[in-house]
Every structure is written in structure tokens, then in C-alpha cells.
Amino acid sequence: MEIIRTPRMMREIIKDLKAKSKSIGFVPTMGALHEGHLSLIRRAKDDNDITIVSIFVNPIQFGKGEDFDRYPRDFDTDCEKIKNFGVDYLFYPDAKILYPEGYSTFVNVENLSNKLCGKFRPGHFRGVATIVCKLFNIISPNRAYFGQKDYQQTLIIKRMVEDLNFDIEIIVCPTVREVDGLAMSSRNSYLSEKEREAATVIYKALKEGERLLKAHEDPREVTNKINEILKEERLVKEIQYAGVFDPLTLDEAKEKKNNYLIAIALKIGDTRLIDNILVEVN
């Protein structure tokens, strides 16, 4: 695995790979790699000749008072984790190179970016779309891999790829969960033992929501039930949103249909956690 620190160097390698008609699979990450990231890397390896992973904690997708400074960073452990996966290149740029003084260009995917997480993290998706756009321009992958846990992010990136005419296939891989159902996330490391236990309420609420929707309950009733379950957990400090939504528009589902997104964002202590599942009703 070769570690590349600059866009210029990365581009030279890409030029060479393209000249040899190699297909490129790309897994963008912010490091603190866990089994969820590893599942994306495995899939990229299966689908492509060359696999490139990036590690970059993107400052512009964190708002004021968010966890940019304490976001877990452990480059050596990350390298150790992926070294046996057959990753060909690890792109590990510096913030000063990607955002030099005078940097002024941002990508804003309107509409979708203002819903769900966007309401509570203003500017977050503008930061995500901007960095993903920059990484796509540098790496020009054939395919890029994202986890379903960040469902809204995947919709926004798909929209951006369509709108900006990127010739890149976006592949969304299933959320990887702990045995008790908690979605794997780099932020789970912030949780105390008690908080970690309390966090299992999220998956419980999602699964109960799924059961009720499949029993043809009204989605608004299901939203109420999900909120009741979450409120029963004493350590849930703030429910930012929780309920049943349209999987394409992210608007609240107000009537029965065949496809739903159940999505939750809440705080346990100071830790913000998100999760979702897609439900298909026959």
C-alpha cells in the first residue's frame, strides 16, 4: 500500500492507471476505521482492479461547537487495519493543501441538504459535498463506496454526481452493526459503558418501527411509537429527529406507501448518533 500525500502525486498515479485501463474503486473516509469502513473496502476490492482509500478529517463539514478537534485520529492504527486488505493507495492529504489560503469554492446540493441532519448541522452537507467533489476530481474513480448509515449523505452525493455530470457509480453498502444492533460509527468511542448500553434503544426503535410499518400501521402512528420508545431511555438527552420519512425526498411520510425510510438522530450525553433503515411493505 502506497501512501500519497498530495493531489499532484495522486493525479500522476491516476493518469498512469487510466492509461493502463485499470478500473478504480474509491472509499473516502475520515479515518478511525471500523468494520463498516472495512466492508466498503472489501466491496471495492471485489469490484475493481485498483482500490484507493482516503483519510481526511474534513474541517469544513464540522460546525462550531462540534467535535472536529476531538474526532478520533489514529493514522498508524488505521494503516495497520487496512494493510492486509490489499488497498493499493491510501490518499492522506493535509488540510492546508486541500484548503489553501484564499480557498473560496463550495458545492451546495440544495433542498436535500436542509432536511433531517441538515436542520441541526447547518453547512455540514455543503462541507461534505465540497470535499467529495474535490476527491472525485483528484481520483476520478469508476466507483465510489459509502455506507447506508449516512443515508442522507448518500442521497446528496448521488444528486451531486448526477447534477455535475460525474461519470462515477455510487455504491451504497449495508450498515454494519454490533451484535446488539448498534450501528458501527467512529463516534461510538465517545460513549461511556452506560451510554453505550443506552444506545441500543436506537436499533430497538428502528426495528419496532419496521414491524409496525410491515403490519400496515399508519406512518404517523409509527413515528409516535418510535419517539415513545426513545423517550423511555433515560440517557437519551435530545431527540433531533425520529420517525418515518420518504426515502427519496426525506419529507415526513404522512400516508401509507410501499417504501419508507425510518431515521433517527439523537444525543446520548454529548454524543450525537444517527441510524436508519429502509422498509419495503408489500
Binding site for ligand PAF (CB under 6 A): 28-30, 58, 61, 128, 131-132, 150, 153
Which of 34, 37, 124, 216 is the catalytic position? 37
The minimum distance between CB 82 and ligand PAF, in angstroms, equals: 15
- Tell me the DSSP string of 39-68: HHHHHHHHH-SEEEEEE---GGGS-TTSST
Report d(CA 196, CA 268) in Å as an integer: 9
| Closest CB to ligand PAF among residues 31, 219 | 31
Report d(CA 55, CA 92) in Å as an integer: 5
The minimum distance between CB 224 and ligand PAF, in angstroms, equals: 30
Q: List all residues 6 or more positions away from 112 whose beta carbon is below 8 Å from its beta carbon.
A: 118, 125, 152, 155, 156, 159, 250
| Closest CB to ligand PAF among residues 95, 228 | 95
| Closest CB to ligand PAF among residues 58, 113 | 58
What phi, psi does 3 have (nearest 5°)?
-100, 125
Identify whether 37 is a catalytic site residue. Answer: yes
Q: List all residues 6 or more positions away from 50 whose beta carbon is below 8 Å from its beta carbon.
A: 17, 22, 23, 24, 25, 88, 89
The minimum distance between CB 132 and ligand PAF, in angstroms, equals: 6
CB 143 within 8 A of CB 26: yes
Report d(CA 71, CA 33) in Å as an integer: 12
The minimum distance between CB 128 and ligand PAF, in angstroms, equals: 5
| Closest CB to ligand PAF among residues 112, 131 | 131
Catalytic residues: 37
